[in-house]
């Protein structure tokens, strides 16, 4: 692919939308996040209602590993820091700095998924599957859907990292901001999933 | 030091400070989880802590505090709909005996 084609592919409309005064890319990302709020919020609302209706699922929730969940929370919180620093670094126009923080975000995202995979393997090993009851069906659905979102974020951040590592920020500056919005949203979802599943 | 470098240092210090608060709040949530107090109180406290953490991320890392009013509307209308759904269904599902 020629450089001109690549630049066109990554070109970002910088002008704000005439109606809202907000750049279309950012507006689109927030609309997307609103739809994601409905998806995760609907699941979380159902979980809360069913949990209250079934006496709190105290015995079932005793089998999840809160220490692993706490570690993963720390990992995601730290990845949010590296992601926001990548965006701040964009403003300094230092591709190597942007690349470093995006790379760290990708590594932390992979760590999260690795730990989640280890946790799943322990749970499957103990005989807990999505068919082991309503609590476990909710558990695997919510954490699995969240893990898919983390994976999607890793893919997007890896693409941006590759561009930044090549020393080219032209055309992707705002994409890093929008990828950051998505990544922080995934972090916020986990901030609620962690106490809901592991600590309640 | 030029303005760009100063801005970078200021932003980095601010973002790291927010991260420290997030880690402290995570530790607070875990300590509350271990307290010998009624479960209802534990759940209320840890969800209070989770809300504060979420507000910090949305306000400071997603920069919502500097956003256009329309973005607030997009972000909070689904949250209000969900809260309404939850409250409306509590009598039928959660309190059913």
Q: Check residue A16 and report its DSSP letter.
A: P
Model confidence, pTM: 0.91
A7 or B6: whose pLDDT is higher? B6
Q: Does A80 touch chain B (CB under 8 A)?
A: yes
Q: Give the CA dihedral A158, A23, A97, A184, nearest 10 degrees.
A: -60
Structure-token pair, residue A14 = 């910088």
Side-chain-side CA neighbours of A159 within 13 Å: the count stands at 13
* CA-to-CA separations, A9 to A22, A85, B46, B93, in angstroms, rounded: 21, 25, 45, 49
Region B47-74: mean pLDDT is: 94
Give the Cα separation of A125 and A132 in Å (integer).
13
Q: Is B86 in contact with A45 (Cβ distance < 8 A)?
A: yes
Q: Which residues contact B81 (CB under 8 A, 6 or more apart)?
A: A38
How far B47 CA sits from the closest chain A CA (Å)?
Answer: 7
Q: What ipTM was predicted for this assembly?
A: 0.93
pLDDT of residue B58 exceeding 50: yes
Contact: A191, B54; criterion CB under 8 Å: yes
Residues A79-116 have pLDDT tens digits of 999 999 999 999 998 999 999 999 999 999 999 999 99
Least CB-CB distance to B61: which of A22, A33, A80?
Answer: A80
Give residue A7's pLDDT band: very low, low, confident or very high (50, 70, 90): very low
pLDDT of residue A61: 85
Q: What is the Cα–Cα distance from A128 to A122, expressed in whole angstroms?
A: 9
Cβ contacts of B6 within 8 Å, gap of 6 or more: none
Is residue A181's pLDDT more than 60?
yes
Alpha carbon of residue A35 to chain centroid? 15
Whether the Cβ atoms of residue B41 and residue B24 lie closer than 8 Å to each other: no
pLDDT at B26 over 90: yes
pLDDT tens for B84-95 read: 999 999 888 877
Band of pLDDT at residue A15, cut at 50, 70 and 90: low
* Structure token digits, residue A9: 């592919």
The domains found in chain A, sorted by start residue, are: 21-54+65-199 (1.20.120.80)
pLDDT at position B37 over 50: yes
- The answer to whether A112 and A150 have CB atoms below 8 angstroms apart is yes
pLDDT of residue A9: 35
Whether chain B has a CB inside 8 Å of the CB on A20: the answer is yes
Shortest distance, CA B19 to any CA of chain A (angstroms): 6
Confidence of residue A54 (pLDDT cuts 50, 70, 90): confident
| B15–A85 C-beta distance less than 8 A | yes
Q: Distance from A53 to chain B by nearest Cα, in Å?
A: 4
Can you tell me whether residue A155 is helix, strand or coil? helix
- SS3 of residue A153 by DSSP: helix
**Cβ of residue A16 closer than 8 Å to a chain B Cβ:** no
Any chain B CB within 8 A of the CB of A191? yes
CA torsion, ordered B19, B24, B27, B33, to nearest 10 deg: -110
d(CA A83, CA B65): 18
Burial (CB count within 10 angstroms: exposed 0-12, middle 13-18, buried 19+), residue B71: buried
Put simply, whether A37 touches B (Cβ < 8 Å) is: yes
pLDDT digit string, tens, across residues A116-144: 999 999 999 999 999 999 999 999 999 99
Any idea which residue has 């561009």 for tokens?
Answer: A163
Which B residues, 14 through 43, put their C-beta within 8 Å of a C-beta on chain A?
Answer: 15-16, 18-19, 22-23, 26, 29-30, 33, 39, 42-43
Among B8, B12, B71, beta carbon nearest to A22 = B71
> Per-residue pLDDT for A3 more than 70?
no
């Amino acid at each position: 692919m020629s450089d001109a084609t690549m630049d066109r592919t990554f070109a970002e409309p910088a002008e704000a939308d005439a109606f809202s005064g907000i750049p279309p890319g950012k507006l689109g990302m927030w609309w997307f996040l609103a739809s994601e709020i409905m998806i995760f919020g609907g699941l979380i609302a159902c979980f809360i209602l069913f949990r209250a209706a079934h006496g709190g699922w105290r015995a079932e929730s005793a089998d999840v590993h809160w220490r692993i969940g706490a570690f993963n929370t720390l990992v995601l919180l730290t990845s949010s820091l590296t992601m926001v620093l990548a965006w701040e670094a964009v403003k300094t126009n230092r591709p190597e700095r942007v690349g470093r923080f995006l790379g760290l975000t990708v590594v932390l995202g992979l760590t999260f998924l690795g730990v989640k995979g280890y946790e799943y393997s322990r749970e499957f090993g103990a005989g807990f599957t999505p068919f082991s009851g309503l609590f476990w069906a909710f558990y695997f659905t919510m954490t699995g859907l969240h893990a898919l979102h983390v994976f999607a974020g890793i893919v997007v951040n890896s693409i941006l990292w590759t561009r930044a590592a090549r020393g080219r920020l032209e055309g992707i500056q705002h994409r890093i901001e929008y990828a950051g919005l998505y990544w922080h949203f995934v972090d916020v979802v986990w901030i609620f999933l962690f106490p809901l599943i592991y600590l309640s | 030091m030029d303005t760009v470098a100063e801005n970078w240092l200021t932003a980095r210090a601010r973002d790291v400070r927010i991260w420290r608060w997030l880690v402290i709040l995570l530790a607070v949530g875990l300590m509350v989880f271990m307290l010998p107090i009624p479960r209802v109180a534990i759940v209320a406290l840890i969800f209070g802590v989770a809300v504060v953490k979420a507000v910090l991320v949305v306000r400071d890392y997603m920069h919502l505090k500097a956003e256009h009013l329309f973005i607030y509307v997009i972000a909070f209308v689904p949250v209000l709909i969900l809260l309404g759904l939850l409250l409306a269904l509590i009598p039928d599902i959660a309190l059913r005996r």
